[in-house]
Amino acid sequence: MANKLKEEKKVPILPGPKSIKDIIRTEKYIGRSNYVGLYGIAIASGDKNYIQDVDGYWYLDCLTGASCNILGYHTGIEEIYTSQARVMQHSCFPYAPNEAALELAKMLIEHSPGHYRKKVLFGLSGSDSVEAAIQAMRKYTKRFGVVSFKYDYHGSTGLSQPASGFGLDKGIFPHSKYFRHFNFPVTLQQEEKTLEKIEKAFQTGTVGGVLVEPIQGDAGIVVPEQGFLYSLYQLAAQYDCLFMVDEVQSGMGRTGKLWAIEHYGIEPDLLIAAKGLSAGYAPISALVGRQEVIDTLDPAQHLFTYSGHPPSCKVATFVLDRILKDNILNSVVKRGENLKSKIKDIQSKYPDIIKDVRGVGLMLGIELNIKNNPTLTQTFCYLCLQRGVFFGYFGPHNNVVRIEPPLTLTEEEVTTVTDVIYQVLDIIAQNKVSGEVTEAVKKYCLGIGMTENK
Ligand SMILES: Cc1ncc(COP(=O)(O)O)c(C=O)c1O
């Protein structure tokens, strides 16, 4: 493979001047909590699976606007949105039903796991739909306790933030015994320990439900030990606790099934969808689940002015239909397997740099060995960016490269990704990272600083 590498072309130092202007304006106008900033580049447009920054540089998009733009750009979905907006942009579902929302709800019910009567509650973000799940769980079980996992990310609101396992709620909410975070097990031994501890929590009689990402996303693409989720599901049922699955990142075909939980043969009581639900065209989310649980919430306990927004619902129905009909799921499986196996090959040549390659479908992660270089992941990703591939970097120590491209990734683009990874590892392995790059990484690659590391 090495001899197939393209010659190093002259690569730009990023961000370019227009992006830098936008960083200055961001610092001036936007509250610090609203951005974490990966590289400092400002994005202007997109086409197919590529995005362009304001300075005119193009990148193969492996972050997809935080895993939302699952069908790429210039998809034609613009027309779906505007054709509905032209006849009725908003009618406020809380006051009057609209057909677009009803059609989407029916489709979500039909295409989500669970052989029982289901209903839908619409929202605007992953966070608020997680909120809805916890609200409904609490009212239904009459128990406040939520079991979730370290480094899970569930959102930024009153219930979703403390349910997350990053400690971002510190200093905002008083510590609550009702949110318990457990290690997310990746080995059989860890699984046994975790289940034991969770069972003890269940035995207190205060826990009403488990909230889990089937594959942790922001934690750094962590795939649980194979049997864990099913055992957890059975344990929850044994203690009459609800099983709530957060598919905000892993859903909508990302792992090769419409919902990641389908890999595990589980029928969750509640399922949360957002991000890719609208392929990035509209802020919309949904909670789908057992009718009797969802209907414990009283009128107006979970509604928003924009819930069931007609153009957003029309778009989401179209996106679901495309994923189910266009052979996209098969393609995700094929491309995902190929990409992962190629990166694993690369890992075997750079075992000191790449610690692990993991994930399912097109939800992949490369864990780097940051022991001797805490900013290795940022440097790696920055060097890839210079060569036209846009990755995110996540994990508790910014140690994992996240690969979540559009589900429409082509075979040729798989090769582009692996060629660039190869080139960049070569630079890192030969200690050829320039001072300019190191400087830019220090200045612009902020990443998600974990509160516990500050
Ligand atoms: C798994 C998961 N749940 C919930 C959320 C929160 O979604 P939102 O940012 O739309 O509120 C995210 C966002 O990154 C997520 O990845």
Quote the ligand 1 centre to 129 CA distance (angstroms): 9
CB of 164 closer than 6 A to ligand 1? no
Query: Whole-angstrom Cα distance, residue 28 to residue 392?
Result: 24
CB of 274 closer than 6 A to ligand 1? yes
Residue 361, pLDDT score: 98
Where are the domain boundaries for CATH 3.90.1150.10 in the chain?
A: 2-67+330-453
The three state secondary structure string of the chain is CHHHCCCCCCCCCCCCHHHHHHHHHHHHHCCHHHCCCCCCCCEEEEEECEEEECCCCEEEECCHHHHCCCCCECCCHHHHHHHHHHHCCCCCCCCCCCHHHHHHHHHHHHCCCCCCCEEEEEECCHHHHHHHHHHHHHHHHCCCEEEEECCCCCCCCCCHHHHCCCCCCCCCCCCCCCEEEECCCCCHHHHHHHHHHHHHHHHCCCEEEEEECCCECCCCCECCCCCHHHHHHHHHHHCCCEEEEECCCCCCCCCCCCCHHHHHCCCCCEEEECHHHHCCCCCCEEEEEEHHHHCCCCCCCCCCCCCCCHHHHHHHHHHHHHHHHCCHHHHHHHHHHHHHHHHHHHHHHCCCCEEEEEEECCEEEEEECCCCCCCHHHHHHHHHHHCCEECEEECCCCCEEEECCCCCCCHHHHHHHHHHHHHHHHHHHCCCCCHHHHHHHHHHCCCCCCHHHC
Residue 357, pLDDT score: 98
Fold observed for domain 77-325: Aspartate Aminotransferase; domain 2 (3.40.640)
Quote the ligand 1 centre to 425 CA distance (angstroms): 31
Q: Give, for ligand 1, the residue of 34, 222, 275 to mutate: max count of ligand atoms closer than 8 Å to Cβ.
A: 275
Residue with CA at minimum distance from ligand 1 atom 4: 154
Residue 447, pLDDT score: 79
Question: Do the bridges between strand 363-368 and strand 400-403 make them parallel or antiparallel, or are there none, so unpaired?
Answer: antiparallel
**Residues 168/161, Cβ–Cβ less than 8 Å:** yes
Quote the ligand 1 centre to 361 CA distance (angstroms): 19
Ligand 1 atom showing the smallest separation from residue 125 Cα: 10
Q: Give, for ligand 1, the residue of 134, 148, 154, 250 to mutate: max count of ligand atoms closer than 8 Å to Cβ.
A: 154
Q: Which two three-digit tokens encode residue 79?
A: 């027309």
Residue 446, pLDDT score: 84
Residue 44, pLDDT score: 98
Give the CATH number of domain 2-67+330-453; options: 3.40.50.1820, 3.90.1150.10, 3.30.310.50, 3.30.930.10. Answer: 3.90.1150.10
Residue 191, pLDDT score: 98
Burial 230-248 (b: 16+ CB within 10 A, else e): ebbbebbeebebbbbbbbb
Residue 454, pLDDT score: 35
CB of 127 closer than 6 A to ligand 1? yes
**Residues 147/182, Cβ–Cβ less than 8 Å:** yes
Residue 400, pLDDT score: 98
Quote the ligand 1 centre to 154 CA distance (angstroms): 5
Residue 4, pLDDT score: 41
Residue 10, pLDDT score: 85
Residue 9, pLDDT score: 67
CB of 154 closer than 6 A to ligand 1? yes
**Residues 305/128, Cβ–Cβ less than 8 Å:** no
Residue 452, pLDDT score: 39
Q: Give, for ligand 1, the residue of 69, 127, 146, 221 to mutate: max count of ligand atoms closer than 8 Å to Cβ.
A: 127
Where are the domain boundaries for CATH 3.40.640.10 in the chain?
A: 77-325
Residues of the chain with pLDDT under 70: 1-9, 448-454
Query: Whole-angstrom Cα distance, residue 19 to residue 399?
Result: 25
How buried is residue 296: exposed, middle or buried, by Cβ count under 10 Å (0-12/13-18/19+)? middle
Query: Whole-angstrom Cα distance, residue 184 to residue 197?
Result: 12
